[in-house]
Structure formats: structure tokens, C-alpha cells
Amino acid sequence: MCDETELVLRALGMEMLIRSRNPVKQGYQSFGARTLSIWSAPGESNCKAGAAIHVNCSKVLTIVKMGEYGTFTKEQAATAVVAHDKGADALLPMNKDRERRKKKAKKEGTKRAGVGSNRET
């Protein structure tokens, strides 16, 4: 199976295949060095675990493991309360970056266009 995956990745010019179709017990599972299966819906399909992936601009992949569905530590509960107070959008990295750019443009007294998917029209 790895040989076929390598051929497909090479043909499509891709470095890695990340899929999210079937639940996996730990929230994520690696199949060789270039294939990753992730499940980001804890509590669905009798799978309590979940995970998310963050890829930075240097293509460094970080897997963030979610707590099991229905169980929360004190820290997780406190974070959820803070997130609710601020609004979920305030915690997303892309939105923090957009706000940073807006403040910088306002400080400089100019109106600059956004970059990438955060562009406002």
C-alpha cells in the first residue's frame, strides 16, 4: 500500500496525505511516514478520542490531541469559559493575525490590504 501512496503523492506533487474519514482510537494514526488519518469529532461513531492538526508556514505539522468526549480537566473547563467570554473567533490564529494587521495599519495611519485567506473586501 505504501508504494501506491508514494506513486500518487509523487504524481500529484504532494508531500503528505492527510485523511479524515474513519474514526481512529487515539484520534490520529500514522500509516508510514507520509500518510496520516485523523479524527476530529470525539463522541461520534463510538470514538471518544479526537485530534486536530496545525501546520505552520514552515510546513511543521503539530498534532493536538483533544480530551475524551465528556471528560474535562479544570484547565480545559477554565479555557472553555475564557473562550466563551472572548468569542471562539478571537482564539483562532488567523483572526489574531488579522487583528494584529488592522492595529498596525491603524497605527501607521494607512489602510493596507489583507493577505491570503484573511483578506477583507
Round to whole Å and give the CA distance between 76 and 67. Answer: 9
Q: Which residues of the chain have pLDDT under 50?
A: 1, 87-94, 114-117, 119, 121
Q: Kindly list the domain boundaries of the chain, sorted by start residue.
A: 1-70, 72-108
pLDDT tens figures, 18-47? 888 888 888 888 888 888 888 887 777 777
Neighbours of 51 (CB within 10 A): 20
CA dihedral (57, 3, 29, 61) in degrees, to 10, reads -10
pTM value surpassing 0.95: no
Please, what is the Cα angle at 65 between 62 and 67, to 5 degrees?
A: 160
